[in-house]
Amino acid sequence: MIKIFFVAIALLSLQSTNLFASEQSYHGPIALRSQNPVYLLFLSPRSEPARVLPAGSLKLSAQGPYSNIFEEGMNPTSGLNVDLDMELFRPAFLLQWGFAPQWEFGLELPFLHFEGGFLDAFVQGYHNAFGFPNGGRDTVSNGRFEYRFSTYGQDRYRVGTEMLQPSDLILHVKRQWLTNQNAWLDLATTLYLKIPTGKKSEGLGSGSPDLGINLAIAKHYKRLHVYANLGGVLLGATDLGFEEWLNTWLWSWMSAMEVTLWSHHLSGLAQVQGDGSLFDGTGIDVLDQGNLILTIGFAGQEGPWGWKVAFAEDPSGQGPAVDFTSYLEVSYTWNFTD
């Protein structure tokens, strides 16, 4: 599937430039972060462009990633066991405001829903068809739900199914320093603050604020657009039951490529991103390793309406990255300066 995607992008890019005679717009990257439920307790910068909204503009986005995850591991020496088996839906509303030239303020309100789900058989068939590892998910029954940290069978942290409840509120302030029009590239920085509004006892938040920073760069040349992010998060103190293994900070990165296929109407995107490890010293690979996520998708815009659709996969089958995520985003932008 990945090879087919890149071949399609290449063939469309070789078409006559008359097909792309109008404005060559860009829409990336895909605004994903790790969908592992433990990582979602904390702040992690979402993948973002190196630009801000024009002053006087307001944008509302509705994002809907839906993920299937199975992560299980045990350290026989310490008796620590982690068991994550669920499907997770994290819809979020992101409001962005260009409040001054080169400045943007944003507010993200996410919700969380997790249960046993219905995709286990599909994901196993998908993995088998494309040669991806199943990571042991075929050893348990389909539709099973578990969200548990334990030591020798005694719960340290356990969460039941959750029916669409608000998670932690995230605020950001973003500054654009360079633009591709009068510089070699776009350059922007974002400061994040996570406010602990979600109930930690129900798996909706860590119960403490986190601070983050993200550096975004981009280069645009005709139909080709390249993006990169590098971010870091300072994690607040928490008492979830596994805090003795938690790192005090988390770093993240992203690189992506977008090709304009049909003016502002359609673009193709390929994106690779990851995080450092949230844990250290557990002796369990699915905790001590970092995330690696491969995403492919499409995006476009019609007037004030924008859209993105994507699919993300854990290409290694190891570490805490979720097995499969589908992503849909719809946005509307108001320009109050017109």
Q: How much of the chain, in percent, has pLDDT values that exceed 90?
A: 70
Q: What is the CA radius of gyration of the chain?
A: 20
The whole-number average pLDDT for the span 168-181 is 94
In this predicted structure, the answer to whether residue 92 has a pLDDT above a threshold of 90 is: yes
The whole-number average pLDDT for the span 141-145 is 78
Domain-located, residue 210 = yes
Higher pLDDT among residues 57 and 222, named by residue = 57
240: alpha, beta or left, given left = phi > 0 and alpha = psi -120 to 50?
Answer: alpha
CATH classification at residue 325 = 2.40.160.40
Contact between 28 and 299 (Cβ < 8 Å): yes
The whole-number average pLDDT for the span 50-69 is 96
Higher pLDDT among residues 20 and 224, named by residue = 224
pTM recorded for the entire structure = 0.86
Lookup: tokens for 80: 């620590």
Domain-located, residue 13 = no
Domain-located, residue 54 = yes
pLDDT for residue 143: 72
**Residue 163, domain extent:** 22-332
pLDDT category, 172, cuts 50, 70, 90? very high
Rounded-to-integer distance, Cα 104 and Cα 117, Å: 37
Rounded-to-integer distance, Cα 206 and Cα 202, Å: 10
pLDDT for residue 140: 60
Higher pLDDT among residues 136 and 23, named by residue = 136
Domain-located, residue 10 = no
Contact between 120 and 126 (Cβ < 8 Å): no
The whole-number average pLDDT for the span 78-89 is 93
In this predicted structure, the answer to whether residue 122 has a pLDDT above a threshold of 80 is: no
Tens digits of residue pLDDT in 291-331: 999 999 999 999 999 999 999 998 887 789 998 899 999 99
Domain-located, residue 178 = yes
Domain-located, residue 16 = no
pLDDT category, 139, cuts 50, 70, 90? low
261: alpha, beta or left, given left = phi > 0 and alpha = psi -120 to 50?
Answer: alpha
Tens digits of residue pLDDT in 251-289: 999 999 999 998 889 999 999 999 999 999 999 988 999
pLDDT for residue 131: 61
Mean pLDDT of the chain: 87
Domain-located, residue 185 = yes
Tens digits of residue pLDDT in 105-117: 999 999 999 998 6
pLDDT category, 21, cuts 50, 70, 90? very low
The whole-number average pLDDT for the span 134-161 is 82
In this predicted structure, the answer to whether residue 119 has a pLDDT above a threshold of 90 is: no
Domain-located, residue 337 = no
177: alpha, beta or left, given left = phi > 0 and alpha = psi -120 to 50?
Answer: alpha
In this predicted structure, the answer to whether residue 8 has a pLDDT above a threshold of 50 is: no
Number of domains in the chain: 1
pLDDT category, 24, cuts 50, 70, 90? low
Count of Cβ atoms closer than 10 Å to residue 256 Cβ:
22
